[in-house]
Amino acid sequence: MGVAAGIEKNRLQAARHQLQPIFDAVSRAVSMQDLAPSLRTPPEGTLAIKTSTARSRSRSGASAAPDKSAPRKRGPKPKVIVEFPEPLWTEWDEPETFSDALNLQMRRHGDTVRHLFIALNSNGNAND
């Protein structure tokens, strides 16, 4: 490994006590993955069915059939993209640098970097 990484042998030997737990953990993870690859990723649809079944059982108190509808997306609803948003305030001092000016205009219109990225993307989907 030292040859592949371009690290001298004596430096690896000096750091042996710090590196040994890392290599042990990697070794355990690889051996666990070989023994049970399905522990990491359940078959497609399994998690959604179990979750919806558990929720419906907890609400009704009885066993219920899995819901056939598509699973709902979690988290807050996406912010609506407005072509010409109204500013939150109309008076400001012009910043000297581009980054300061961009930051000011984003705050002035209540935007974030992520929302601006999505708004600038042609189809509305972010491709990170």
DSSP 26-76: HHHHHHHHHH-GGGTSPPTTHHHHHHHHHHHHHHHSS--PPP-SPPPPPSS
Contacts of 111 by beta carbon, 8 Å cutoff, 6+ apart: 85, 119
What percentage of the chain carries pLDDT values higher than 90? 7
Whether this prediction's pTM lies above 0.85 is answered by no
pLDDT > 80? residue 62: no
The answer to whether 124 touches 118, Cβ cutoff 8 Å, is: yes
Span 88-125, pLDDT tens digits: 989 989 999 988 999 899 899 888 888 888 888 866 56
Q: Is the pLDDT of residue 58 over 60?
A: no
Cα gap 24→17, rounded to integer Å: 11
